[in-house]
Amino acid sequence: MSGLLSVFLHLLLLFKLVAPVTFRHRRYDDLVRTLYKVHNECPYITRVYSIGRSVKGRHLYVLEFSDYPGIHEPLEPEVKYVGNMHGNEVLGRELLLQLSEFLCEEFRNGNQRIVRLVEGTRIHLLPSMNPDGYEVAAAQGPDISGYLIGRNNANGVDLNRNFPDLNTYIYYNEKYGGPNHHLPLPDNWKSQVEPETRAVIQWIRSFNFVLSANLHGGAVVANYPYDKSLEHRIRGFRRTANTPTPDDKLFQKLAKVYSYAHGWMHQGWNCGDYFPDGITNGASWYSLSKGMQDFNYLHTNCFEITLELSCDKFPRQEELQREWLGNREALIQFLEQAHQGIKGMVLDENNNNLAEAVISVSGINHDVTSGDHGDYFRLLLPGTYTVTATAPGFDPETVIVTVGPGEPKLVDFQLKRSIPQVFPTRRVPSAGPGGRVLPKRVQPRAAK
C-alpha cells in the first residue's frame, strides 16, 4: 500500500510540474498574490516594491529581477516594462505577470539565456499603472459596450495625456538653441499631474533607466517617439506628420526588434491598419501631447517605445495563451537590447565617481548623463562615433569609438580638473596732484 501511495504522490508531483499554466484575467488582489508568489518562489533574484498609490489607494507594485535585488550594480543597465496605463487595455498587464512567472521558472531551471539576462540586467515590471481603471473595466468584462470604460483613472484622467509637456520646449530649443536632454520640469508639476503619474515620474527619476516599453492595446504595432508632432494633428487626419527624434534610426531598430520577434506584428496588416514592418513613428500615426514615452526621452536617460499588442483592448480569457506565445520571445529580445552601444565609468583623477557628467555623441543632438555611481549607458547602432564627456569644473575628454553589433563597448572617461587661467594684472599708473597721471620718468640710455 505504501508503494502505491509513493507512486501516486510521485505522479501527483510530476503532474504538478508539467501542468499547463492557467491563463486568466487577474483582478487587483490576484495580481498582488501573483507578484508575491513569484517572489516567494525566487526570493534571491526578486523584490516587490511599491512606487506609490492610485487615487483609490491601491499600491502600484513593481516586481524587480536582479542577482542583487534592491541594489544598482555599476555598469548593469536598468530596464522597465509598464503595463495597463489605460485601465481597459489589459493584455500588457497579463503578459507582464506571465513574464514574471516565466523568468522565475526559467532561471530556476538553469536556462542560460535567462540566467545571463537576470544576472546582467536589472529588470523592473510594473504590471498595472492604473489599477483603479482596470477594476472598472474588469467589472464589465470583455463584452463591454463602451469602448472607453475604465480607460482613465478614478479622477477621469487619461494618464497618457498627463505628463508635463516637454516637447514644446525641445522643438523651440532645436530651432533656437538650448538643452537637448534632461529638460527641467515646471516648479508646480506635482500639482498638475495625477497620483499615478506623479508616482511614475518620481520612479523614473530615482533609477537610471536605459530602456523601457509601455504596453497598450487597441492596435498591433510598435510605436516610437516623438508622439507629438510639430503641428498638432487629430487621429485619422493626415497621417504624414513624421516627427523623428535625433535617435530616429535607433528607435526604428528597437521597434523592429519587437515587431519581428512577435508572432505576427511584423506582417503589418493588423486590426484593419497597415504599418510597414509593424512599426510607426507616433506622430505620423496621430499626434499625442503629454505622453509618457516622449517624457522619458526628454527628461531622463531612458529610451521608451509604446507597444500596441492586441486589436481587442480586453481580450477574452481563452485568447491569452495565444497572445503570450506570440509575445514571449519579443519581450525577452527587447530586454536584451539594453546591451548595445557603449557604456562605462566617468571618474575624476582620484578615481572618484562623477555623477551627472554629460555624454555627447557628435552628430546626434541628444545627450545622456552618468548616474549616481558614475556609470553611463548610451544606446547606439553599430558604427564609429566621436564621444565627449564633460562635467562642471573638469576639462572635457573626447574619444573615437567603433561600436559593433554585439555587446556594448566599454568606454571609460577620467576627467582632469580644469586649471583656472591666471591673467597678469596691469599696474595702474599713479596719479599726481589733481588726479593727473604723471608721465613716466625716462632714464637716458647708456652710451654704447
Q: 195-217: per-residue pLDDT in tens?
A: 999 999 999 999 999 999 999 99
Pairing mode, if any, of strands 364-369 and 358-361?
antiparallel
Rounded Cα–Cα distance for residues 272 and 21 (Å): 31
Helix (H) or strand (E) holding 29: helix 28-41
**CA end-to-end span of the chain, whole Å?**
131
pLDDT confidence of residue 273 = 92
3-state secondary structure labels for all residues of 110-137: CCHHHHHHHHHCEEEEECCCCHHHHHHH
List, for residues 16-46, the tens digit of each pLDDT value.
333 345 789 999 999 999 999 999 999 999 9
- For the chain, the C-alpha Rg in angstroms (whole number) is 28
Three-state secondary structure call for residue 182: coil
**CA–CA distances in Å: residue 411 to residues 64, 113, 343, 353, 361:** 28, 25, 6, 15, 13
Pairing mode, if any, of strands 273-274 and 358-361?
unpaired
Helix axes 112-120, 320-336, angle to 10 degrees: 60
- Give residue 270's identity as a one-letter amino acid code: N
Helix axes 248-261, 320-336, angle to 10 degrees: 140
Rounded Cα–Cα distance for residues 162 and 183 (Å): 17
pLDDT confidence of residue 240 = 56
**CA–CA distances in Å: residue 248 to residues 199, 243, 364, 368:** 28, 9, 10, 16
User: What are the φ/ψ torsions at residue 427 (nearest 5 degrees)?
Assistant: -80, 130
Helix axes 91-108, 320-336, angle to 10 degrees: 70
Helix axes 167-176, 292-299, angle to 10 degrees: 50
Helix (H) or strand (E) holding 356: none
Catalytic-role residue among 135, 194, 308, 323: 308
pLDDT confidence of residue 419 = 86
pLDDT confidence of residue 165 = 94
Q: Is 41 among the residues known to form the active site?
A: no
List, for residues 104-149, the tens digit of each pLDDT value.
999 999 999 999 999 999 999 999 999 999 999 999 866 665 668 9
Pairing mode, if any, of strands 219-224 and 279-281?
parallel
- Taking 80 as the threshold, does the pLDDT of residue 234 lie above it? no
Q: ∠183-358-418 over CA atoms, to 5°?
A: 125
Per-residue pLDDT band at 380 (split at 50, 70, 90): very high
Query: Percent of the chain, pLDDT > 90?
Result: 79
Per-residue pLDDT band at 7 (split at 50, 70, 90): very low
Identify the bridge partners of residue 303 per DSSP, sorted by sequence position: 211
**Torsion over CA of 154, 158, 161 and 163, rounded to 10 degrees?**
20
Specify burial of residue 412 (Cβ count, 10 A radius: 0-12, 13-18, 19+).
middle
List, for residues 305-362, the tens digit of each pLDDT value.
999 999 999 999 999 999 999 999 999 999 999 999 999 999 999 999 999 999 999 9
Per-residue pLDDT band at 10 (split at 50, 70, 90): very low
